[in-house]
Every structure is written in C-alpha cells, then in structure tokens.
C-alpha cells in the first residue's frame, strides 16, 4: 500500500495519534510519502524514523502512485491537500486533529479503524 500524508501543525494532545498512525503504517508495511514541512514539524516533538520514508514539498514532486492521501488537520488542511491529488484520481481521507470537522471527519478515536 502506498500512502501519502499531508498535514499542518497540531496541538500536543494529538501526538499520541501520530505515533499510533506511524505504528499502524509500519505494521502494514506501507510505503509512506510525507509532506516534508509536516515531517519536520512532527519530528521536533516525536522522533520518527526517516528510513523508508519519501518526501514531497509541492505538486511537482508529488508522485501519482499513491493509493490514498491522508490529510491530517482540519477542513482547511483537507482543502489544501486537494491541490496535490486534483487530477490524479487519488482519494483523500481527512483525519481531524481538532474538535470538529465536516470534510476531515475521521476523529482520532476512529483513525485506526478507518485505516483498516
């Protein structure tokens, strides 16, 4: 499975969800490509293994070989993530790192189940 991850800053109370997300993806042996600024934000608070990850910083270096793009943040982040997949036919799943989301409607409590 090829997973792309796009996200923005989030509150520290979401750190455990990010840790769990990467545990689930590692267990599934997923190929993960992550928005590089988001990786650097995460890595300041949580030590992530860089091995095996690939990175993208803009639409030009975003490869179209992903099965899904995970948008981590709120509805605004979800809308921004559309620019990466707009003509590639890649579905987006929005994981809400805040309180309420209409587009990014997967809560942190539902995240693991939604990834299966």
- State the pLDDT at residue 84: 92
Contact 13, 78 (CB under 8 A): no
Whether this model's pTM surpasses 0.85 = yes
State whether residue 61 is helix, strand or coil.
Answer: coil
CA-based nearest residue to 27, from 107, 115, 96: 115
> Residue holding tokens 């490509």?
33
pLDDT for 5 equals 96
Given a contact cutoff of 8 angstroms between Cβ atoms, the answer to whether 43 and 69 are in contact is no
Phi, psi of 4 (to 5 degrees): -105, 145
| CA pair distance 37, 5, nearest whole angstrom | 11
If you average pLDDT over every residue of the chain, what do you get? 84
Among 51, 61, 75, 87, the active-site one is 75
Tell me the helix, strand and coil percentages in the chain, rounded to 5: 35, 20, 40
Active site residue 75: yes
Query: Residue 86: its pLDDT value, please?
Result: 86
Domains of the chain as residue ranges with CATH:
2-115 (3.40.50.10330)
The pLDDT value given to residue 14: 87
Q: For every one of its 116 residues, what pLDDT tens digit does the chain have, with 9 covering 90 and above?
A: 899 999 998 889 889 889 988 988 998 899 999 999 999 999 998 888 778 899 999 988 888 889 999 999 888 898 999 999 988 889 998 888 866 555 555 555 555 555 65
CA gap 67, 47 in Å, rounded: 26
């Amino acid at each position: 499975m090829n997973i792309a991850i796009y996200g923005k800053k989030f509150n520290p109370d979401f750190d455990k969800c990010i840790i769990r997300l990467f545990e689930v993806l590692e267990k599934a042996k997923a190929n993960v490509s992550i928005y590089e600024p988001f990786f650097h934000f995460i890595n300041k608070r949580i030590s992530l293994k860089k091995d095996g990850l690939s990175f993208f910083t803009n639409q030009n270096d975003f490869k179209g070989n992903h099965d899904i793009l995970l948008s981590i943040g709120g509805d605004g982040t979800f809308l921004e993530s559309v620019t990466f997949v707009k003509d590639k036919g890649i579905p987006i799943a929005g994981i809400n790192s805040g309180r309420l989301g209409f587009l990014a409607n997967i809560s942190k409590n539902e995240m693991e189940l939604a990834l299966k």
